[in-house]
């Protein structure tokens, strides 16, 4: 951990709840700039002596934010990528650093690569992107295959972090959030379950 983090006072915000977002994502809906609500709280945060915010999941997801559908896009229930970029810039102007929630152990069932497997089954080029895929059984969702989920939760599809394509996809997303959005760091969800080699490459 960097030195600034050791000496910071963090405030945790779960954006979907804090910003009163709907529980379920309507992927056909237009984005709503709910993240802007956080800007109104900046004076209060500064009064508390907060100089770093840990934002819960902001990537596009189906429900609670940990079932990611798109690692490159802000959840439309919270706004757009520009909404988040403007929020981070405003927080930085107020000397508040920003940590994002990095959910890289698993994805949601709406993740495009998993949807490709559902459509194309064994012919999908993304079969190896997911852990424990077995086309000899059916899942509780009546999918024509079974797969691993985080702690058995099959709405959280375990990614195969040994797969070069998966790693490249995630590392490209992380690079985008760091370089283009100027985030100050990541909190890794389910870090205890993430492949150690993946963590080493990420740290490198």
Assigned token pair, 51: 């100089």
- Block means of pLDDT (10 residues each) for the chain, 204 residues, are 88 98 98 98 98 98 98 99 99 99 98 99 99 98 98 98 98 98 97 96 92
User: How crowded is the C-beta side of 155, counted as CA atoms within 13 Å?
Assistant: 7
Distance CA 43, CA 54 (A): 17
3-state secondary structure at position 99: strand
3-state secondary structure at position 153: strand
Distance CA 100, CA 185 (A): 7
Distance CA 74, CA 38 (A): 15
**What are the structural domains of the chain?**
3-105+164-203 (3.20.20.80), 108-160 (3.90.400.10)
pLDDT at 43: 98
Distance CA 161, CA 141 (A): 24
Name 108's bridge partners: 156
pLDDT at 2: 76
Distance CA 80, CA 23 (A): 18
Reported pTM: 0.95
Q: Are 59 and 65 in contact (CB under 8 A)?
A: yes
Name 150's bridge partners: 153
């Amino acid at each position: 951990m960097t030195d600034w983090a050791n000496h910071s006072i963090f405030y945790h915000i779960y954006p979907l709840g804090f910003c009163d977002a709907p529980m379920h994502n309507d992927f056909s809906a237009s984005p709503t700039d709910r993240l802007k609500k956080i800007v109104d709280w900046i004076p209060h945060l500064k009064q508390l002596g907060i100089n770093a915010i840990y934002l819960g999941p902001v990537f596009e997801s189906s429900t609670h934010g940990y079932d990611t559908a798109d690692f490159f896009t802000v959840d439309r229930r919270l706004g757009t990528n520009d909404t988040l970029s403007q929020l981070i810039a405003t927080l930085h102007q107020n000397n508040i650093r920003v940590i994002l929630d990095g959910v890289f152990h698993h994805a949601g069932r709406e993740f495009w690569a998993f949807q490709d497997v559902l459509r194309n089954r064994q012919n999908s080029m993304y079969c190896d992107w997911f852990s424990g895929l077995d086309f000899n059984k059916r899942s509780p969702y009546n999918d024509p295959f079974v797969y691993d989920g985080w702690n058995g939760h099959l709405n959280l599809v375990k990614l195969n972090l040994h797969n070069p394509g998966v790693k490249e996809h995630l590392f490209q997303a992380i690079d985008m959030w760091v370089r283009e959005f100027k985030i100050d760091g990541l909190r890794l969800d389910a870090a205890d379950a993430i492949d150690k080699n993946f963590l080493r490459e990420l740290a490198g």
